[in-house]
A = this chain, B = another copy of it.
């Protein structure tokens, strides 16, 4: 049984396309393969030759393109992977469909079998554990966008109303970045802010578990200068307020 990942990304794509075309229209014409892969017909020929050399397709000049049973088997498994990863991203991480499609298309080729299996297990776990993780996550996302005044979650229906955050804050187990003094540092727990700010922070590298050190602070805490992974950044107060840290040495 041919291993997933033994072929190049491109060849795996060809194989999947051929499989789909055969299922849909009973035959795989060079032109249709080219169209679906957004490639010129002349690019398809060498790909078919390479696949043929690997015993995955039957192809002879001017002949009908079919899959060998090995090829069918590999293509079916690749498609299964693809669909699962897409579904995982959409249903668990709440990624929009087109993006999930694009990412699944890439992950499918590169993910190790071990990670894939763990993903499957996690998915199954979430599906059956009865903890309603999906809907809680959705609530969590919805509430992130609402505001950033320091409350984790102001919505009365939010499952985190009485969560452990505020208790932990009271005990000094978490702080916001803006409450640190110059020289102090902490490890990022999460960012509590609306989409725009969160996006900006994530893009700048403010990710969970990253250590942040406060360097300098303007009088009213705006702007605040920090060091992160050996790199200096300047944040506005609004952003610093959104960053929730575990204190660290």
Most buried by B among A92, A103, A128, A164: A128
Partner of A103, one of B111, B140, B159, B208: B111
Q: A93-B119, A93-B122, A115-B89 in contact; A84/B209 too (CB < 8 A)? A: yes
A26 at the interface (CB under 8 A from B): no
Residues from chain B with a CB closer than 8 A to the CB of A133 are 131, 133
B118 x A208 contact (CB < 8 A): no
Partner of A207, one of B1, B80, B115, B118: B80
Give Cα A159–Cα B130 distance, bound, in whole angstroms.
Answer: 10
A248 at the interface (CB under 8 A from B): no
Near B by CB (< 8 A), chain A positions 85-138 give: 87, 89, 92-96, 99-100, 102-103, 106-107, 110-125, 127-131, 133, 136-137
Binds B, one of A32-40, A47-55, A197-205, A218-226: A197-205
State the Cβ distance, A168 to closest chain B Cβ, in Å.
9
Secondary structure at the A interface, as helix, strand, loop or mixed, is: helix
Give Cα A116–Cα B163 distance, bound, in whole angstroms.
Answer: 25
Partner of A123, one of B103, B123, B141, B208: B208
A125 x B137 contact (CB < 8 A): yes
Q: How many copies of this kind of chain does the complex include? A: 2
A235 at the interface (CB under 8 A from B): no
State the Cβ distance, A139 to closest chain B Cβ, in Å.
10
Give Cα A123–Cα B209 distance, bound, in whole angstroms.
Answer: 11
Give Cα A93–Cα B118 distance, bound, in whole angstroms.
Answer: 6
State the Cβ distance, A44 to closest chain B Cβ, in Å.
23
Partner of A129, one of B72, B87, B122, B136: B136
Q: A77-B205, A87-B208 in contact; A92/B129 too (CB < 8 A)? A: no
A-B contact pairs, 21 of them (CB 8 A): A76-B229, A77-B203, A77-B204, A80-B207, A84-B208, A95-B118, A96-B114, A99-B115, A107-B110, A107-B111, A117-B202, A120-B202, A121-B144, A125-B137, A127-B189, A127-B190, A127-B208, A128-B163, A129-B140, A129-B159, A130-B163
